[in-house]
Structure 1
Amino acid sequence: MGRPCAQGRPTCNIVGEFMSTQGEIRKTPLDWLVATFGRLAVSIVIPIVVFGVMILGFQWLRAQTPSSNTQKALLSLVAIVWGVGGTALLYVVMNFVVESLPPNLMRLLQPYVFVGPAMAILGWYLAVPTIRTFWLSLHDRTGEKFVGLSNYVAVFTERAMFEAFRNNLLWILFGATFTVVFGLIIAVLADRSRFENIAKSLIFMPMAISMVGAGVIWNFIYEVRDINSPQIGLLNAIVVALGGEPQAWTALIQPWNNLFLIVVMIWMQTGFAMVIFSAAIKGIPDELLEAARVDGANELQVFFRIMLPYISGTIITVLTTVVIFALKIFDIVQVMTGGQFGTHVIATQFYRQAFTNQNKGYASAIAIVLLITVIPVMIYNLRHFSEEEAF
């Protein structure tokens, strides 16, 4: 039993616990510490147990050897249910455990319930492979003998890689530049048209096509046949109809034949740029544009002195995004030329070394160089996003 301490104050008991006037018991610091660490331990152990059970289930599913299509379909359905249900269960259990913690700890740990698994997956499928690729780049073609930085020396001294770097530069200079310019022009003109929705839909439509599909389509456009044969390629059919001779467009004078491949990228990405620019232009206050026109500015002056400065942040964002796309370009070149006729880029050189020449160390070095090339552009893009959000 407790004894009263003073009028209007909590009652005290002999074991050092304090009972409030409402009858609530305040535990000692030791009890709070034990309870808190116990909950933390449970919050760590339970997700590990749930995750371990999910892995065991997938291992069991992988070990099965279905003999009929029905068994295969049933096994696939079980795998989907197990994966989705297990992931949902993992989140539910982790959230339940964290919500049982004291409020301060709950606010501290609850975001990691949702971010933690995603970060773990990113680490496992991105960070770990990157580290492993870098380690492999320090070895020979078999991946067994350590050779140090010799693969990187080869990357920056071999003629084939110089050609790839040159071509990637062409993709950036022409592909990214014309994509942004055409996207901006079309966005401005489409916003003034009565057929804005139809025009934007047609320009954006190539975005729905995969790069492989686009490469196949443009292969037919550039197709060349003997001069005595009917031309099935659209471009050569037009040239022959006008009295010219058919040309092998992707095998013309190097390196300018790369421009015919870059056209495919411009065709695909212009719709993306147009949509982003159109949204940014619609965000310009009408009062600002009207004030400029009232002051006597013509449409070109409005465009260059009002619109461009106002959406300059959006232009930089789109440009950096397209530059990253150009640096990583692979599918179009692989489908249309396979890197022949001087059209290799960094990614196709990596593919050739990894899967054709079976040179693991050299291919890994090329992959790391490509990663290092992309990272500065990504960092700049992220910083620009942060600055815009802060503004």
Structure 2
Amino acid sequence: MEVFNKKLWGTIFLGPAFLIMGIYLLYPSLQTFLMSFMDRTGSEFVGLENYNYAFTSESMLIAFRNNLLWLIIFTLGTVGLGLIFAILTDKVPYEKLAKSIIFMPMAISFVGAGIIWKFVYTYKPPIFDQIGLLNQIMVLIGKEPKGWLLEGPWVNNIALIYVGIWIWTGFSMVILSAAYKNIPSHLLEAAKVDGANWWQTFRYVVIPELLPTIIVVITSNVIRTFKMFDIIYVMTNGNYGTEVIANRMYKEMFKYRHFGRASAIAVILFILVLPVIIMNIKKMKQENN
């Protein structure tokens, strides 16, 4: 009887939460999956036609390529710079000020950051005065101004990825800095006593101790790359070969009003992120055990 009462009270307390999750998470997910097999209006079954479009159309292939580029450069950039800044700021007397400056871009909305950097990258033909900061610097050092957001597929994509790195490096730094400070001091002292130089200490002591945190930061940033939308939408709207999966999904849904294709892209995006989520859950279970 007592066990029954515990289950009853558990159901009463958790029931509303499960109900809300079902309404706002489970039902939309199932509806999106079903819609991915329907036509533009969602009234006729078209089978795998939308998925065929997603994996064969030029625009989607460009989006996949760009997301791969974001995945590699953005993740390496944010985690690498975050780790470097976490270690360097720990050794300066003005640590709090330095970290605040590096973290400051996180306080700006992604739309606001996109607008700021769009002005920085602004290009005018050489016969006109440059109003973009970066091109004005190029002119001052005797170089030709460059269309940073117009020259694809590498220049403009890397320019956009840099904005993402500028924003998210501070986040990576804060997480890695907290982990770095928790490294037992006796390990670092033992390395010094054994005659290890800074590189050996970093490689054989710091990295192994930080590895679980580095994996968490990497997986978080990998998920973030697949959801990247704001910067691209504000700065180029996917033009000039800068399309990414999330931006393409938005266009199919709200610009072309093709609900079937948009739903198929959403399902593909979910499938791409799913392995990373599963890996994170397994990692958390291992740490709890």
Structure 2-normalised TM-score? 0.96
Aligned to 1:70: none
Spell out, residue by residue over 1:310-347, the C-alpha distance to the aligned partner (whole angstroms, 9 max, x if none): 11010000000000000111111000000000000001
Cα distance between partner residues in 2 of 1:292 and 1:110: 55
Shift of 1:105: 3.7
Alignment of structure 1 residues 223-372 onto 2, 5 Å: 223-372=122-271
The DSSP-based 3-state class of the residue aligned with 1:219 is helix
Following TM superposition, by how much is the alpha carbon of 1:302 offset from its aligned partner in structure 2, in angstroms?
0.8
Aligned counterparts of 1:244 and 1:362: Cα–Cα separation in 2: 44
Tell me by how many angstroms 1:363 deviates: 1.1
- Superposed, 1:39-188 pairs within 5 Å as 103-188=2-87
In the aligned structure 1, how far is the partner of 2:201 from the partner of 2:5? 53
Q: 115, 119, 135: which is aligned to 1:220?
A: 119
Task: Confirm or deny: 8 A CA contact 1:313 1:388 kept in the other structure.
Answer: no
C-alpha spacing 1:229/1:139, structure 2 compared with 1 (3 Å): same
Q: Is the 8 A contact 2:152 2:242 kept in 1?
A: no
Q: Which stretch of structure 1 is more off in the superposition, 180-189 or 115-124?
A: 115-124
Question: 1:163-193, CA deviations, whole angstroms, 9 ceiling, x for partnerless residues?
Answer: 1000000000000111100000000001111
Give deviations 1:335-362, integer Å, cap 9, x for gaps: 0000000000001111111111111111
Contact 2:227 2:246 (8 Å CA) reproduced: yes
Q: Which amino acid aligns with 1:307?
A: V
Where in structure 2 are the equivalents of 1:373-384 lying within 5 Å?
373-384=272-283
Task: Give the structure 2 partner of residue 40 of structure 1.
Answer: none
Gaps spanning 5+ residues in structure 1: where?
Answer: 1-101
Indicate the residue corresponding to 2:285 in structure 1.
386
Amino acid in the other structure paired with 1:265: G
- Return the alpha-carbon distance in structure 2 between the equivalents of residues 115 and 217 of structure 1: 45
Supply the AA of the counterpart residue of 1:275. Answer: V
Cα shift at 1:381: 1.1
Matched positions, count:
289
8 Å Cα contact 1:317-1:381 kept in structure 2: yes
Distance 1:242 1:112, change over 3 A: farther
Q: Distance in 1 between matches of 2:287 and 2:213?
A: 9
Instruction: Please list the CA deviations of residues 222-246 of structure 1 after superposition, one character each: whole Å capped at 9, or x if unmatched.
Output: 0112323322211111111111121
Over the residues paired in the alignment, what is the CA RMSD in angstroms? 1.3
Q: Is the contact between residue 175 and residue 266 of structure 1 (CA under 8 Å) also seen in structure 2?
A: yes
Distance in 1 of aligned mates of 2:7 and 2:242: 52
Determine the C-alpha separation between the residues in 2 that align with 1:109 and 1:287: 51
Measured at CA, do residues 315 and 109 of structure 1 come closer, stay the same or move farther in structure 2, by a change above 3 Å? farther
Counterpart of 2:126 in 1: which secondary structure? coil
Whole-Å separation in 2 of the counterparts to 1:113 and 1:214:
45
1:286/1:131 CA distance change after superposition, 3 Å: same
Q: In structure 1, how many angstroms separate the alpha carbons of the residues matched to 2:166 and 2:217?
A: 15
Contact 1:167 1:255 (C-alpha < 8 Å) held by counterparts: no
TM-score where L is the length of structure 1: 0.72
Distance change (3 Å), C-alpha of 1:112 and 1:289: farther
Q: 2:93 aligns with which of 187, 194, 200?
A: 194
For residue 114 of structure 1, report the CA deviation from its aligned partner.
Answer: 4.1
* 2: CA distance, partners of 1:298 / 1:248: 45
CA distance in 2, matches of 1:347, 1:201: 31
| Aligned equivalents of 1:233, 1:372: Cα separation in 2 | 40
Aligned residues with identical type, % of pairs: 49
Alignment check: 8 A CA contact 2:148 2:155 kept = no
1:249 aligns to what SS in structure 2? coil
Q: For residue 150 of structure 1, report the CA deviation from its aligned partner.
A: 1.2
Distance 1:223 1:256, change over 3 A: closer
Distance between the aligned counterparts of 1:106 and 1:303, measured in 2? 55
Shift of the alpha carbon at 1:119?
2.6
Shift of 1:112: 4.3
